[in-house]
Structure 1
Amino acid sequence: MIAGTHSGCGKTTVSLGIMASLVRKGFKVQAFKVGPDFIDPGHHRMITGRPSHNLDGWIMDKSYNQSIFYRYSSDADVAVVEGVMGFYDGISGDKEDASSAQIAKWLNLSVILVVDASSAARSIAAVCLGYKMFDPEVNIIGFIFNNVASPYHAQVLKEAAKDKGINVVGILYREKENIGIPSRHLGLFTAEEFKVRKDKLADWIEKGVNIERILKETEYKISDFKELKKSNSSKNKNRDVRIGIAKDRAFCFYYDENIRLLEEAGAEIIPFSPIEDKKLPLPLDGLIFGGGYPELSCKELSSNTQLMEDIRKLILKGTPVYAECGGFMYLMDSVVDLEGNRYKMLGIFPFECHMQKRLVSLGYRQVTTKKDSILGPAGTTVRGHEFHYSKIKRCTSNVDTIYSVTNRINKEEGYLKKNVLGSYIHLHFGSNPEVAKYFVEYCRKASQGI
């Protein structure tokens, strides 16, 4: 695991650099991300050529996190797990739930901690010791000092580390040219928008990090978990339900585990682009609109009237549709951007949403359905998270809400109209795999007129 002392210390750039170096050396690398984030896994995929998977101790239980890790690591040479926030940071100050430390313990991972060494010298040794001593059950085996200013600065850091018995596996100098991923008020640019410079990242890492030493000190055998892998590897080869998934630069936030569970339940996943495609890849038995940044492509989405008409026709037929966050915005009447420009959207939900300069909502959510729906019978519980910069400002008529949501000021959410369910909450089906099965079966029955 590559973890960090805090957000912004450079762990994502270091993780990507280590992945790039390993791939360049010929290793088959499987990446993972702790937490519910979509953006970092997208960049992992661009480096490794393989989907990156989320691990999360609040959304999923221990055994499910283990099954994800062992399933996708089984055919790789190296697994790299990128942590979240500060290593011990989670949902509260007195529990480790949802932290990188929790996942490291559940998976028995060795940890390399990235430390931002800018504006500090001998004090960095105290930081390192604090992290090692905070929880004796965690195996922090080494430290990478990032943002080092000069060779002299590096020498002082090494002396302090040696004096306190701290294992330093890397010294990374502050780069004049920014090799990381640029950010904006919405967060980091997505992999669809910004292509990371693999060779530059690999060069930077190889100049300052002892990759061979890290591989040797973190060697990991997963042969003891064959039964666990086998019990989670079944697949439904009879994929008779065609589910269209909106996938392009506007809608790119999907958990690959959700896709796997849909396929395992009998879905054939059919991607399409609401930006580029002029018509749907019919026939389709269901539609899913994931999250992303549709607000950055409002003009293209709004002008693609032919595709929107195809979608409306399917919805009028009763085709089940699930939409979350950015996908939910696309199904509203209109979206108003930060400049006040109004763009017409699908008009399924009688809402107008306005983009805000500040984050509107952020946090883990547990959803319990209050009535039968495309996700399952009343009482179905599933977990996920919420993160968005838009707000519903106008509602022209009432729409049923079927979610009761924890950890949220307004506990009424989950907007239902006909067979269309829209929400700002990103759900992870790994918290309740029955949801994927139910949705696919609902689509199957709807296509048969049952």
Structure 2
Amino acid sequence: MNSIKGFIIAGTRSGCGKTSVTLGLMAALARRGYRVQPFKTGPDFIDPEHHTRAAGRISHNLDGWMLDGNTIRDIFSRYTQDADAAIVEGVMGLYDGFSALEETGSTAHLSKELNLPVILVVDARSMARSAAALVLGFCGFDPDTAIAGIIFNRVGSKNHEQTLREAMSLTEVPLLGCLPQRDDVSTPSRHLGLVTPEHILDLESRYASLADWVEEHLDLDLIMDNLPDIPIPPRFDEVPMIPRTRIGYAKDIAFSFYYEENLRLLRESGAELVPFSPVEDKELPEDISGLYLGGGYPELSAFDLAQNTKLRRAIAEFSADGFPVYAECGGFMYLTESICKDDRFFPMCGIFPFRCTMKSRFQALGYREVRLSQDTILGPTGTIVRGHEFHYSAIDEVEENRPHAFAVTDKNNRTSAEGFTANENTLGSYIHLHFASNPQAAANFVEACAERESR
């Protein structure tokens, strides 16, 4: 049985610097020749994009609420077969998840599912002896969460570092290093989180600077040598399915938010996935029988999307001809009549008869359990899939009696009606669904595309 070094980088809260530390460790270990397999706790899309670029291997989401334990372990095992190390970035604070009353969906929950030790990142600004109290609180809150060591971030000076080390001597928790405040190595952010790699010009130099920062202030050899070996059960080689149908999926600067497992499950169900750019391409890919439009930042490319009239018309005609089209969040916005940003209206595909307007604060945030209210391209009425919703735009002027495709339940057990259909085979909503929560949804979509192709 193969074994690897594996650990989770967790934080005391959002904004403590765990992403910078994670990227620095990934880049530094990859530079040393390690085959580093990245993962992300929770539903985020942007962190995995950065992981992929820093580590040189595709990052995968491991979400303890959308996915069950067996699925999480299967994904982890699948992508660590040929790895030397696995680094999992946590979400929010170590114990933050679906509920304040229990651990589901939290980084601590994931560490137990995978039996991985946790390295806790602590923002040490304006703290001295209290830093030790905070560490002991995190370690004592749940003794079953294996915290292997602490990294202090944003340390102000050598004197500050010495004070922190003295404070930590009052505990038995290993201190793995102190990272000084470095504004020049932080990753830029915007309203939905970090800026996507496609929007950062000096990306590689930033990763290199993060690797240098980590190398200089952390003893990587000591960290790796003291981590336990994680056994990875062998897997049998899977026989790839001969594609039954071709599905185009939007992939460019405006649309990049896809769970990698969604794409894998579509391929496993018999789809050949063909990327295309709604920003740059004038025509849809040849011989496709379906479209998958994921999320992203269409509002940042609204002018270019609006200018690409030929492709917008092609997508509208594709939908009107009854070909399956599935769109979520940014892709859903692209299928509406227009996107309104800064009081300017940018025409989109016009498949759904309403517009989206960008707002100053987020309009929805959280996990969602979706039950199909009608038969759709993802399955029959009653099909359940889990997902996540986070967006700053809102729909304007929806017809009062327009039927909804989804019955949605949030974490507070509140229900709502969401999602829309058009032209029989087009389905769109703000919710990012994770097909691994119900792989049959991916199979149903591929089947719908294959049936339309055979007509």
What is the TM-score with the length of structure 1 in the denominator? Answer: 0.96
Is the contact made by 2:409 and 2:415 (CA closer than 8 Å) also made in structure 1? no
Distance across 2 between alignment mates of 1:393 and 1:285: 31
Shift of 1:109: 0.3
* 1:186 and 2:192 matched: yes
Take 1:58 and 1:332, find their aligned partners in 2: how far apart are those partners? 30
Equivalent residue for 1:414, pick from 415, 419, 425: 419
Select 1:258's aligned residue among 255, 262, 268: 262
User: Which of residues 295, 298, 302 in structure 2 aligns to 1:291?
Assistant: 295
SS of equivalent to 1:395: coil
> Structure 2: which amino acid aligns with 1:414?
G
Structure 1 unaligned runs (5+)? none
Structure 2 match to 1:110? 117
Between the aligned partners of 2:399 and 2:291, the Cα distance in structure 1 is: 25
Residue 446 (structure 1) shift: 1.1
Report the alpha carbon displacement of residue 185 of structure 1 after superposing the two structures with TM: 2.5
Task: Name 1:349's counterpart in structure 2.
Answer: 352
- State how 1:351-370 maps to structure 2 within 5 Å: 351-370=354-373
Cα distance in 1, alignment partners of residues 388 and 320 from structure 2: 30
Q: Which residue of 2 aligns with 1:174?
A: 181
Aligned residue among 200, 203, 211 for 1:202: 211
Using the TM superposition, name which of 123-132 and 12-21 deviates more: 123-132
CA change 1:314–1:432 in 2 (3 A) is: same
Structure 1 position 445, deviation (Å): 0.5
Equivalent-residue separation in structure 2 for 1:436 and 1:149 (angstroms): 50
Match of 1:388 among 369, 383, 391: 391
Q: What CA distance in whole angstroms lies between the structure 2 residues aligned with 1:69 and 1:215?
A: 19
Say whether the 8 Å CA contact 2:340–2:355 is kept in structure 1: yes
1:153 deviation in Å?
A: 0.6
1:434 to 2:437 alignment: no
TM-score (norm 2): 0.95
- Structure 2 CA distance, aligned partners of 1:350 and 1:372? 21
Q: Distance in 2 between matches of 1:442 and 1:400?
A: 21
* Contact persistence 1:70–1:222 (CA under 8 A): no
1:45 to 45, 49, 52: 52
CA contact (8 A) 1:30 1:48 kept: yes
1:28-177 matches, cutoff 5 A: 28-175=35-182, 177=183
What is the identity, as a one-letter code, of the residue corresponding to 2:31?
A: R
| Corresponding letter in the other structure for 1:61 | D
Q: CA RMSD in A?
A: 1.3
How much has 1:50 moved relative to structure 2?
1.3
C-alpha contact (below 8 Å) 1:302/1:343 kept by paired residues: yes
Q: Distance in 2 between matches of 1:17 and 1:90?
A: 25
Shift of 1:234: 3.2
Of 245, 251, 254, 1:241 maps to: 245
Structure 2: runs of 5 or more not aligned: 1-7
Question: 2:323 maps to what in 1?
Answer: 319
Counterpart AA for 1:179: V
What SS is found at the alignment partner of 1:69? helix
Query: 1:301-320 counterparts in 2 under 5 A?
Result: 301-320=305-324
- Cα distance in 2 for partners of 1:346, 1:33 equals 33
**Quick one: distance in 1 between partners of 2:275 and 2:399?**
32
Deviation of residue 410 (structure 1)? 6.3
Q: Deviations 1:325-384 (Å, cap 9, x if unpaired)? A: 0000000011100x1000111000001111001010000000000221100111100000
Secondary structure at 1:129 match in 2: helix
User: What is residue 231 of structure 2 aligned with on the other side?
Assistant: 222
**Alignment check: 8 A CA contact 2:407 2:415 kept:** no
Deviations 1:296-334 (A, max 9, x none): 111100110111122122112210000000000000011
Contact 1:17-1:204 within 8 A present in 2 as well? yes
Please report how far the alpha carbon of residue 243 of structure 1 lies from its aligned counterpart in structure 2 after TM superposition: 0.3
Q: Assess if the C-alpha contact under 8 Å between 1:148 and 1:154 holds in 2.
A: yes
Amino acid in the other structure paired with 1:142: G
Question: What SS class does the counterpart of residue 318 from structure 2 fall into?
Answer: helix
* Distance in 2 between residues matched to 1:272 and 1:430, nearest whole Å: 24
Of residues 9-18 and 163-172 in structure 1, the stretch that sits farther from structure 2 once superposed is 163-172
Q: In structure 2, how many angstroms separate the alpha carbons of the residues matched to 1:443 and 1:178?
A: 48
Aligned length: 442
Could you tell me whether the CA contact under 8 Å between 1:185 and 1:357 is conserved in 2? Answer: no
Given that 1:234 and 1:264 are in contact with CA atoms closer than 8 Å, whether structure 2 keeps it comes out as: no
Shift of 1:409: 5.8
Deviations 1:164-209 (A, max 9, x none): 222101110112x421111122322012212251211111001111
Match among 280, 283, 301 for residue 284 of structure 2: 280
Task: Report the 3-state secondary structure (helix = DSSP H, G, I; strand = E; otherwise coil) of the residue aligned with 2:147.
Answer: strand
- Provide the C-alpha distance between the structure 2 equivalents of 1:92 and 1:237, rounded to a whole number of angstroms: 39
Shift of 1:235: 4.5
User: Aligned partners of 1:235, 1:433: CA distance in 2, in Å?
Assistant: 18
Report the residue type matching 1:216 in the other structure.
D
In structure 2, how many angstroms separate the alpha carbons of the residues matched to 1:150 and 1:445?
65
2:375 to 365, 369, 372: 372
| Aligned AA (2:425) | N
1:445 aligned onto 2:451: yes
Equivalent pairs: percent with the same residue?
51
Structure 1 residue 13 corresponds to structure 2 residue 8 = no
